[in-house]
Structure 1
Amino acid sequence: MRLLLSLLLAFSSLPALAAAPLDRLSVPKGFHIALYSDQVPDAREIALGAKGTVFVGSNDAGKVYALTDTNGDGVADKVRVIASGLQLPVGVAFKDGDLYVSAVSRILVLRDIENHLDDPPKPVVVTDRLPTETHHGWKFIAFGPDGKLYVPIGAPCNICDPGPDHGKLIRMNADGSGWQDVARGIRNSVGFDWQPGTHRLWFTDNGRDMMGDDMPSDELNEIVGPGEHFGYPYCHQGDTLDPEFGKGKSCRDYVPPVLKLGAHVAALGMRFYTGKQFPTSYKGAIIVAEHGSWNRTKKSGYRVMTVRLNGSRVVSYEPLVSGFEQDEKAWGRPADVQPLPDGSVLVSDDLAGSVYRVTYKP
């Protein structure tokens, strides 16, 4: 009895991790946000399995999680650790029953994972030839419409000439063979997706630091042709030459962003919305997780944004979820977004160690 009483007292004294912070969040009229799970430390990229499993990579936790909602109530009732001890396993991508995981210099795969959630297989190395630097070494990964695995290789610095092995986006076959460069001049992309209909790849890119509070902007980019160069380290935000590396260069020689997202907002995961639950104005829009600034005098980002498009032209850029930061104090940092088959959208938060679910019901 004494042990039971002690346990009850201990649990009653735990902080309310979910209810109070969620009350601070703002969403447009008719939208709702609820906790999907608060048991996912350092939650980063989200991927969906064929059987409804929600896979989540992590930043500093070194773990990969599998979340399941067995009764369909919109809340994960079981969270499993399916891999641990990995180096920054931020990226997760699902294909043909297998889960691919990025771990800085390696891509790993867990075979037939959804049939072995309680006894996960040992990760198998797909490739271990990626750069070993951890500065911008974490990787958002995804399979494209061509069946190939797309992998960004960030610049190993704030600002430098990254050389041919960094500052780019590559693709490879699922077995790790057939590497190809897709685009260059990319400082650090931690989110990309393919536009429905056009199948063109769009990606976020984080601008450099130490040029002041308001320079340069993070970018939303579209790849129109193979081998395009998006400016880094010579030209930032499509119109500003770098004080050091821009000498003798012209921004006209590089692809400008489709949209300037704002300085230091740290735009990470992004997905096109193709569901039917949200209003029709969201169909084909891009939803972007903005992780938030770390070195700006006044914080920026800390929100989830909607970018509406007409083809490749931006129509609007407005908040979907805000309130992760108030009075210059942040309790949450959105890292990725992932639409579910029912049209709702999951949002990962690595600061709160949580995943939220955004729904629409007027």
Structure 2
Amino acid sequence: MFNRSAYCSFVYTTTWAVWTLLISGIPIQAAEVELDGQIFTVADGMTVERVAGPPLVNRPIHADFDEQGRLYVLDSSGSSARGPEQLKEKSHRIVQLTDTDNDGVFDKSTVFADRFMLPEGACWHDGSLYVAAPPEIWKLTDEDEDGIAEKREVWFDGTTLTGCANDLHGPYLGPDGFLYWAKGAFAEQSHDLLNGDTLTTRAAHLFRRHPSGGPIGNVMTGGMDNPVEIVFTPGGERIFTTTFLEHPQEGKRDGLIHAIYGGVYGKDHGVLVDHPRTGELMPALVHQGASAPCGLARLESSQLGTDYSTNVLSCSFNKHRVFRHKIGNQGGMLTSENSEFLVSDSPDFHPTDVFEDADGSVLVINTGGWYKICCPTSQFYRPEVLGAIYRVRKIGSHHENDARGKTIDWGQKSPAELVSLLADKRFAVRNRARKRLGELGAISVPALKDGLSKLKNDQQRLQVVWAMCQNSSAAARQAIHLALDDSNETVVHAALHSISLMFDKTAAEAIRQHFASFSAYNRRIAA
């Protein structure tokens, strides 16, 4: 989802030279694609195609796929009224796009939900679309498969709506099976927490909650104005985009943050006064100046090339491009090697979301020229400049057969067969098998334990750990402890995250026994 008060071109005062220095950017070795009156620059060997636009969708903001490959797109009406007026207008909509002839281009649009408050994030999960539309997160369900959401439920009520409407962004599905979202603005909210406490706060936060409801977990606290999107590394670390992680100075302002659970981050602001911390505010992962970073994706396939696998992509609304981040770790903290992924020469190209399709190609949403909320001095409010959705793909790649596993009879698969699918080269199939193993509860634990002890594939064992994390049975909680002895650093990392997220105190002795053998990266989680 897109950013708030920074989404205006007039704030771009940092020179490109300073910006490149700040992110250690590496220019891409380039191919140029002329499309829709602009020139896109991508890496050599890649191309760009338009896959949706008016009249199917006019001003797309954010989107997500369901298991069938239908794309649910938040579509702005072009209104840039302030929050309370937006709530009265409810002029936006959500459309379901379908590719009826399987040529990679969407050709059918159905209004899934109309008369919506400004939508600020979409996540498909377990048959429903979850959408943040401040002050609430909605759960939308199509009960008769006609492409229209007959059932609308408030899944979470944040209770606040400020003029900039940056109170909520999300939600986003984590590998633990929980939904995560971002609280922005500085309006006071009060929530019951998973640990039994009550949090009353004006600060920014990342929150998490089980899809079934209940209390929430507080992941991160910050003084930034507007945290936006969240992604997860293979081992479970959280990365998010935000504006104003620092007071503007020396070309710094916005960027990406590695959100350590319980960490407190900038900028230094009065809303942090009552939040305990042990030292200085935690640092940024990537500084981007006045970039207005928003949409974020972590690639799960190697279809763009093995060097792209697990890379993070981030949208820059103000700088008309999508950045690529090769994530590593050093001394227990994440690092990022930054470069350009997609660049447009058009000032009307404002990317707000980026995400991976099941075939490993990447979709980029350009929202167009309509956005100016909390940007009263901007001269660039142009709602007549409509948006589009583009696909970036590697030439000669992305030939996955049944990329989503639609021909698999999921209900008939045994736990052992599902564990085998955790090694499938199709990431959508791996993810669905992981979810199914979690749903089966204690029945699936013997097969998961067997896989953890016998499988030679590190990535498959990693998926086993996350399947156990999504499994609510006591047997699964106990079985995760076995992964602490795994030979792969990331598998151990995921196990430690799972234990931490589930408040599993029974793992304390096992962690103490293994602590000396952990890497610095894993000792941070274990501590």
Scaled by the length of structure 1, the TM-score of the pair is 0.78
Matching residue of 1:259: 286
Identity of aligned residues (%): 24
Of 36, 39, 49, the residue aligned with 1:21 is 36
Letter in structure 2 aligned against 1:223: A
Of 233, 244, 255, the residue aligned with 2:268 is 233
User: Cα gap change, 1:20/1:52 in structure 2, threshold over 3 Å: closer, same or farther?
Assistant: closer
Query: 1:259: Cα distance to partner?
Result: 1.6
Q: Contact 2:326 / 2:338 at 8 angstroms: preserved in 1?
A: yes
Letter in structure 2 aligned against 1:282: Y
User: Cα gap change, 1:114/1:288 in structure 2, threshold over 3 Å: closer, same or farther?
Assistant: farther
Which of 1 and 2 has greater Rg? Answer: 2
Confirm whether residue 222 of structure 1 aligns to residue 268 of structure 2.
no
Output the CA distance in 2 between the equivalents of 1:277 and 1:125: 38
SS in 2 for 1:27: strand
Q: Contact 2:181 / 2:230 at 8 angstroms: preserved in 1?
A: no
User: Cα gap change, 1:176/1:133 in structure 2, threshold over 3 Å: closer, same or farther?
Assistant: farther
Query: 1:211: Cα distance to partner?
Result: 3.6
Q: Contact 1:273 / 1:339 at 8 angstroms: preserved in 2?
A: yes
Letter in structure 2 aligned against 1:124: E
Matching residue of 1:238: none
Confirm whether residue 173 of structure 1 aligns to residue 198 of structure 2.
no
Scaled by the length of structure 2, the TM-score of the pair is 0.55
Matching residue of 1:346: 363
Structure with more relative contact order (C-alpha pairs < 8 Å, separation 6 or more) = 1
Matching residue of 1:331: 348
Output the CA distance in 1 between the equivalents of 2:358 and 2:393: 12
Output the CA distance in 2 between the equivalents of 1:208 and 1:43: 26
Q: Deviations over 1:198-244 (max 9, x none)?
A: 111111111269846x54331211123x221112334xxxxxxx9xx
| Aligned residue runs from structure 1 range 39-58, under 5 A | 39=54, 40-58=57-75
Q: Contact 1:265 / 1:302 at 8 angstroms: preserved in 2?
A: no
Matching residue of 2:243: 206
Matching residue of 2:119: 89
| Aligned residue runs from structure 1 range 32-181, under 5 A | 32-39=47-54, 40-59=57-76, 60=79, 62-112=92-142, 115-117=145-147, 119-135=148-164, 136-156=166-186, 164-181=201-218
Output the CA distance in 1 between the equivalents of 2:209 and 2:34: 43
SS in 1 for 2:226: coil
SS in 2 for 1:278: coil
Query: 1:36: Cα distance to partner?
Result: 1.0
User: Cα gap change, 1:99/1:210 in structure 2, threshold over 3 Å: closer, same or farther?
Assistant: same
Q: Contact 2:185 / 2:225 at 8 angstroms: preserved in 1?
A: yes
Letter in structure 1 aligned against 2:155: V
Q: Contact 1:45 / 1:57 at 8 angstroms: preserved in 2?
A: yes
Query: 1:23: Cα distance to partner?
Result: 4.3
Output the CA distance in 2 between the equivalents of 1:283 and 1:271: 12
SS in 2 for 1:52: coil
Output the CA distance in 2 between the equivalents of 1:114 and 1:303: 39
Letter in structure 2 aligned against 1:188: N
Q: Deviations over 1:274-306 (max 9, x none)?
A: 1222011111110111111xxxxxxxx210110
Q: Deviations over 1:293-333 (max 9, x none)?
A: xxxxxxxx2101101122354452111111253xxxx1210
RMSD in angstroms over aligned alpha carbons? Answer: 2.9
Query: 1:86: Cα distance to partner?
Result: 1.4
Matching residue of 2:339: 318
Equivalences, count: 313
Confirm whether residue 287 of structure 1 aligns to residue 287 of structure 2.
no
Q: Deviations over 1:94-116 (max 9, x none)?
A: 11111111111111111246923
Q: Contact 1:87 / 1:104 at 8 angstroms: preserved in 2?
A: yes
Query: 1:151: Cα distance to partner?
Result: 1.6
Query: 1:129: Cα distance to partner?
Result: 3.6
Letter in structure 2 aligned against 1:230: Y
Output the CA distance in 2 between the equivalents of 1:71 and 1:341: 17
Letter in structure 2 aligned against 1:167: A
SS in 2 for 1:152: strand
Q: Contact 1:51 / 1:114 at 8 angstroms: preserved in 2?
A: no
Letter in structure 2 aligned against 1:346: L
Q: Deviations over 1:81-130 (max 9, x none)?
A: 2112111112111111111111111111112469231x331422223343
Query: 1:33: Cα distance to partner?
Result: 0.7
| Aligned residue runs from structure 1 range 269-280, under 5 A | 269-280=295-306
Q: Contact 1:45 / 1:140 at 8 angstroms: preserved in 2?
A: no
Letter in structure 1 aligned against 2:141: R
Q: Contact 1:209 / 1:264 at 8 angstroms: preserved in 2?
A: no
Confirm whether residue 187 of structure 1 aligns to residue 225 of structure 2.
yes
Output the CA distance in 1 between the equivalents of 2:156 and 2:336: 40
Letter in structure 1 aligned against 2:227: S
Structure 1 range deviating more: 251-260 or 45-54 = 251-260
Output the CA distance in 1 between the equivalents of 2:163 and 2:143: 27
